[in-house]
Amino acid sequence: MLRQVNGHSSGSDAQGRESLKEDLQEFLGGEAPLHQLDDLTKVNPVTLETVLRCLQARYTEDIFYTNAGCTLVALNPFKPIPQLYAPELMQEYHVAPQPQKLKPHIFTVGEQTYRNVKSRIEPINQSIVVSGESGAGKTWTSRCLMKFYAVVAASPASCENHKVAERIEQRILNSNPVMEAFGNACTLRNNNSSRFGKFIQLQLNRAQQMTGAAVQTYLLEKTRVACQASSERNFHIFYQICKGATEDERLQWSLPEGAAFSWLPNPEKSLEEDCFELTREAMLHLGIDTPTQNNIFKILVGLLHLGNVHFADSEDEAQPCQLMDGTKVSVRTSASLLQLTEDMLLETMQIRTIKAGKQQQVFRKPCSRAECDTRRDCLAKLIYARLFDWLVSVINSSICADSNSWTAFIGLLDVYGFESFPDNSLEQLCINYANEKLQQHFVAHYLRAQQEEYAVEGLEWSFVNYQDNQSCLDLLEGSPISICSLINEECRLNRPSSAAQLQTRIESALAGKPCLGHNKLSREPSFVVVHFAGPVRYHTESLVEKNKDPVPPELTGLLQQSQDPLLMMLFPANSEEKTQEELSGQSRALALTVVSKFKASLEQLLQVLHSTTPHYIRCIKPNSQSQPQSFIQEEVLSQLEACGLVETIHISAAGFPIRVSHQNFVERYKLLRGLRPRTSSGPWGLCSARKSSEGPCGQLEQPLCAKEATLQPILQDILRALPALTQTVTTPGDPAETTQVPLYCGRTKVFMTDSMLELLERGRAQKLEQCARCIQCGWRRHRLQKQEKQRRAAVLIQAAIRSWLTRKHITRLHTAATVIKRAWHKWRIRMACLACKELDGVEEKPMPQAPSSRSSSLPPAHTKLLGAIIHLWPLGLVLANSTVGARGFQRKLVAHACLRLPTGSPSHSVQTPQQDQAGITSIRALPQGSIKFHCRKSPLQYADICPEPSASYVTGFNQILLERHRPVQV
């Protein structure tokens, strides 16, 4: 845009004659690029008008979050935007390397606090202060932050831990609808206004996982139960019961459809918060079972019926006030629901018991109509306050973790916003007093403390003027005389308090205070306090009575006699509590006032905030009508002036928001000492990190203690390494990264900007990455070498095992072969012996030689037949053993062919039929004469078995004969 303006001015002579002021106003007044400015410190110049224009431009573009230095500005959109708070967006901000580079969001603040806890930079505990006017969106912001932490801080590894984390997350989230139902109400400025303050402590363990939470409440506006301003409503829970109860529950609770109650104004107004089922389900998750819930709702309906009890003025002061027509049924119903005696309930509201004298004599005095109404309202407020405190204790017991299981916490402070109504009483005084304290905490922690610290550390700094509200706090709580002390003193005096008298005392005792105003036109007694957000007029009527908050002992005794189990627990019969009438002494009376108790709890809260690292979210309400897309500049401008946002932007733009002690700085960044610049000169020099009048590295010349002297060399090495760091982490050609990065080393701390911190963190991350790579390389080398040694050892072991197994197998084979061989030889020898033994018993006879003339005298036909039989000797063997077939000479030829006897030798002859009966004389002797073959199965036991069958093996043939005898020539 600047180039366009300059180019346009140089290209046109007409616009070149325009004044520099008009050109600057045209440049600064253009709203087109203002919505792109994510940080208000970039607005030039920083004024209320330019900041207002930037916020309006972003609001028009549906951009509702803007950074203002250390503060996040949140504009209430007044419309649902689900995608702006989706779980996917939460994860995007959680896993982002630099969440501050993303668009401004409440998730940025949440992630920054979460990472601060993880980095464990002192102070480890974090707190987020959500401030703003009523209706600016503080409750919604706190709810979204709780959901963000429940998502990002509940991701354990094991399944069992994951279930536990989910249960804790669900209970923490379910505490919101319960506390909003019982503690929020619809006011003139907000449909869901918190009528109490709460500080939610999210507890984290050493692994930064959410283990539980604790809730601390402040100043419940219990008067709203019995008194509501015009156009406002009671607490949400009463409307939820009346709109969401079932038919059976209505009969059980005596709650007919369309019943009218005096303490339930504007029942026709429907709000998103009137969801009874959501509240019941949340209570169930918190451990409040259905019978207990029904008991709670029954008591609340009993309070509504109690509000319909009205009294009439009594004609005789000695007689108690009588009930108005139609209200006796309400007394009966209320007593039945609270399980009280009807007569006793009515008598407690009508008659006051007074103890007087040294003997503590008891007097009974009828109450006036106003006193009866007051005692009725006090009874309802007492029950509701005890019930609310009991619910908070149940929530804490359900979600609070053991003190040994968590080490750090993140606190969310959702306190009521600044309020200014036509009628303001003690409640608004306490609420605005709390806002003044929180504003002073911001001023003291950031605006004042930061600038004073610059001066102490020796930084050249021109102070920025800001609005300090210390004078207003002195008016409210100063010593020895203040508004709070005067109100408490009125409570200690044993006399009736007058509203006009209290006004006179305040104006006379605090005359001259700059923040005390006067409203002479007001007809009612009042005083004006000029707060940081504007003047507020407080009525003194009933101010002292509300501060006393008297609880008559008759009411407590009445509730102790209730037969309701929940009321018996809230008001035990053996309670040691004492009322104001039983206490004596000014100090005790002072400690029991509402202002004193609220002041003590507020001081305790501020001590917790001072011990943490605070973060601020300023909620801005664009318009008072809660209309979307409506931005009223006058209303927003008053809020910007009240919260000191412009001063915050000035200090954030010119100062150093990051302050780290020397020891923490050295411990975190000492690993950067090894960096050395690639060239002797660079874009970043040490001159930007120190002043000319100072010593090296921005350190003032001063005596140092031993610990500081030890840190100085390391600190100087780190600062000398910064030029190399800029060369390492920046990319070539990036002009934004080559500019000088401001860093200042003070006496005890190192001051830097967000960009410098980002630069150091990037360099540290790169250094850690290099170290991690070296460790990974060494580990991988060691692992590979170890694996190689293991592989070689495994190969050697496998080879030895296989060799041993092979040798063992071969040895077994040799042993088995030897055994088989020996057995075979023994079997062969045994078979031979058996054959010899059996055949030797047969009678041997000589075989006469046949005349050779027979063989020579064979005819040719017989010769051919003999040749054929020789080739077909098996068939001939069969024919020779058959009972029928060839006879005579043919049969002899078959036997001759089977024995393969030579035909030309005359030494042997085939036995004739006449010689068939001769047989074989001996198996060792050569055949003598004819041969008789035994072709039947051998009678020998092992004659037909052969271990290794030969090619000519024939089953059933006498193998021994074939092996031992050679063929006989015929």
pLDDT single digits (tens) 257-294:
888 999 999 888 888 888 999 999 999 988 899 999 99
Which of 149-158, 331-340, 795-804 has the least mean pLDDT?
149-158
Give me the mean pLDDT over the 529-547 stretch: 89
Q: Is the model more confident about 850 or about 547?
A: 547
**CB contact set of 609 (below 8 Å; sequence gap of 6+):** 127, 129, 411, 413, 441
Whether residue 473 has pLDDT greater than 60: yes
- Min mean pLDDT across 207-211, 259-263, 752-756 is at 752-756
**pLDDT tens readout for residues 486-500:** 999 888 887 777 888
What is the percent of the chain with per-residue pLDDT over 70, rounded to a whole number?
72
> What is the per-residue pLDDT for 319?
84
pLDDT at 20: 45
pLDDT at 923: 46
More confident residue, 969 or 438: 438
User: What's the average model confidence in pLDDT over 645-670?
Assistant: 76
Alpha-helical (H) ranges within 549-632 are 553-560, 565-570, 586-591, 594-610
Q: Which amino acid is at 525?
A: P
In the prediction, which pLDDT does 776 show?
Answer: 93
Confidence of residue 448 (pLDDT cuts 50, 70, 90): confident
Give me the residue label for tokens 């296989």.
802
Instruction: Give the residue with greater pLDDT, 422 vs 860.
Output: 422
pLDDT higher than threshold 70 for residue 662? yes
Distances (CA, A) of 494 to 375, 490, 544: 20, 8, 12
User: Quick one: which of 525, 547, 538 has its CA closest to 475?
Assistant: 538
Rounded Cα–Cα distance for residues 476 and 436 (Å) = 9
How far is it, in rounded angstroms, from Cα 198 to Cα 388? 13
Q: What is the pLDDT of residue 738?
A: 39
Q: Which CA distances in Å does 403 have to 205, 408, 409, 425?
A: 10, 10, 11, 40
Average pLDDT over residues 100-112: 91
Please tell me the predicted confidence (pLDDT) of residue 372. Answer: 92
- Cβ within 8 Å of residue 895, ≥6 positions away: 876, 880, 910, 931, 933
Maximum Cα–Cα distance across the chain: 183
Which is more confidently placed, 451 or 285? 285
Output the six-digit token pair for 190: 């907000």
Question: pLDDT for 700-718, tens place per residue?
Answer: 333 444 455 566 677 777 7
Across 428-432, 530-534, 687-691, least confident range: 687-691
Confidence of residue 723 (pLDDT cuts 50, 70, 90): low
Tell me the Cα Rg of the chain. 55
pTM: 0.66
3-state secondary structure of 204: strand
**CB environment 201-213: b (16+ within 10 A), e (fewer):** bbbbbeebbbbbb
pLDDT above 80 for 350:
yes
Dist. CA 62–CA 105, nearest whole Å: 13
Query: What is the rounded average pLDDT for all residues in the chain?
Result: 77
| The predicted structure's pLDDT at residue 764 | 83
439 contact partners, CB below 8 Å, separation of at least 6: 131, 469, 532, 643, 644
Q: Could you tell me the pLDDT band of residue 909, with boundaries at 50, 70 and 90? A: very low
User: Do you know the residue count of the chain?
Assistant: 970
Residue 122: per-residue pLDDT = 76
The residue type at 510: L
Q: Any idea which of 217-221, 284-288, 457-461, 746-750 has the lowest mean pLDDT?
A: 457-461
Would the pLDDT of 71 be above 50? yes
Question: What is the rounded average pLDDT of the residues 599-608?
Answer: 89
- List, in order, residues 6 or more apart from 13 with CB less than 8 Å away: none
Average pLDDT rounded to a whole number, residues 688-693: 36
Residue 696: its pLDDT value, please? 33
pLDDT at 554 over 80: yes
Q: What is the pLDDT at residue 805? A: 94
648 close to 447: Cβ distance less than 8 angstroms:
yes
pLDDT (average), residues 433-450:
81
More confident residue, 462 or 704: 462
Higher pLDDT, 774 or 29: 774
Q: Are 622 and 710 in contact (CB under 8 A)?
A: no
Higher pLDDT, 312 or 16: 312
115 CB-near residues (< 8 Å, 6+ apart): none
Residue 804 has pLDDT above 90, yes or no: yes
pLDDT confidence of 168, banded at 50, 70, 90?
A: confident
Task: Give yes or no for a contact between 752 and 782, defined as CB atoms under 8 angstroms apart.
Answer: no
- Closest Cα partner for 74 from 636, 773, 726? 636
Higher-confidence position of 394 and 682: 394
Q: With bands split at pLDDT 50, 70 and 90, how would you rate the model's confidence at 313?
A: confident
- Does pLDDT of 373 surpass 70? yes
Cα–Cα–Cα angle for 192, 125, 745, nearest 5°? 120
The per-residue pLDDT for 318 is: 78
pLDDT of residue 724: 65
pLDDT tens for each residue of 880-906: 555 444 455 555 665 565 555 555 444
Highest mean pLDDT among 45-49, 559-563, 728-732: 559-563
**22-36, 599-613, 649-663, 904-918: range with lowest mean pLDDT:** 904-918
User: What pLDDT is stored for residue 860 in this prediction?
Assistant: 67
Pick the more confident residue, 910 or 174: 174
Q: 129, 966, 205, 268: which is closest to 616 by C-alpha?
A: 129
More confident residue, 852 or 130: 130
> Which of 119-123, 510-514, 731-735 has the largest mean confidence?
510-514
Average confidence (pLDDT) over 865-889: 54
Can you tell me the mean pLDDT for 70-81?
Answer: 90
pLDDT band at 14 (very low <50, low <70, confident <90, very high): very low
